[in-house]
Amino acid sequence: MSLPVLVAIVVVGIALCVAAVHFTGGSKQATLAAEDDAIRRFAEDFPDETIFTVRLTEDRRTAFLVLDGDRTGIVRAIGDRFLTRIVTPPDIASIEFGRPAMLSIRFKDFTWGGGQFAFGASHDAGAVLQALGGGAFSGEGRKNGKL
């Protein structure tokens, strides 16, 4: 078999595999249409948690949920699935409050390093910052799950 024919077969094979994954839903991106979707998805993994407040990001791929104490729940869309976590201030490596309504969060956990999260309003970003420990550093805190 000549080299050009072999290369053509490999290229067509790879293209067919990529097309098959795409057309069977492999490139679908999950989103959270509303706060209730985030609550429902979080409750699947943590059914005994009480959720006080939900803050959705602008792209509707991440939700931050205020829980009892100094804990915050996170629902994050990764591909067509959701990752759920409960984090506390000691789990946070760094938080930066950027342009109006943008948070850059880094977690100490190596399985999900964090990311950049844009919110529809700066007060939402500020509330998440406070929930994740920003208020603890400034002497402010959360009382009865309210931000």
SS3 string, the chain, reads: CCHHHHHHHHHHHHHHHHHHHHHHHHCCCCCCCCHHHHHHHHHHHCCCCCCCEEEECCCCCEEEEECCCCCEEEEEEECCEEEEEEECHHHEEEEEECCCCEEEEEECCCCCCEEEEECCCHHHHHHHHHHHHHHHHCCCCCECCEC
Q: What is the pLDDT of residues 58-111, one digit of tens each?
A: 999 999 999 988 899 999 998 888 999 999 999 999 998 887 789 999 999 888
Q: Are residues 70 and 13 in the same domain?
A: no
pLDDT of residue 19: 86
99, part of any domain: yes
Q: Are residues 19 and 42 in the same domain?
A: no
Supply the range of the domain harboring residue 10. 1-28
Q: Are residues 39 and 82 in the same domain?
A: yes
pLDDT band for position 134 (50/70/90)? low
* Whether the predicted pLDDT of 145 surpasses 60: no
Q: Are residues 41 and 19 in the same domain?
A: no
144, part of any domain: no
20, part of any domain: yes
Q: Are residues 43 and 113 in the same domain?
A: yes
